[in-house]
Amino acid sequence: MLNCSRKFLLAYNILLFTVTHYQIINGLERVVEGSTEAKYIHVVAMAFKIGGRFSNNV
C-alpha cells in the first residue's frame, strides 16, 4: 500500500500532466483555427479539432 506522501505525489503528477496536456491541445486548436487556411477551408480546422480531441482521449 502506498503511504500518504507517495499518494500525494502521484495525484500531483497526474493533475499537472493532465492540465499541461489540455493546455497544449487547446493552444494548438486556437492556432489552427486562427490560420488563414482554416478560415477559407473549414474542413481543415474541423479535422484538426477532431483529431486533437481524439488523440487527447486516447
Residue ranges per structural domain of the chain: 24-58
The predicted pLDDT at position 2 comes to 55
Contact 29, 48 (CB under 8 A): yes
Q: For residue range 9-52, what is the model confidence (pLDDT) as tens digits?
A: 877 777 777 777 788 888 888 888 888 877 788 888 888 888 88
Is the pTM value of this prediction over 0.75?
A: no
SS3 content of the chain, % helix, strand, coil (to 5): 90, 0, 10
Q: Which residue has the higher pLDDT, 51 or 55?
A: 51
Contact 38, 45 (CB under 8 A): yes
The predicted pLDDT at position 48 comes to 83
The predicted pLDDT at position 56 comes to 67
The predicted pLDDT at position 37 comes to 79
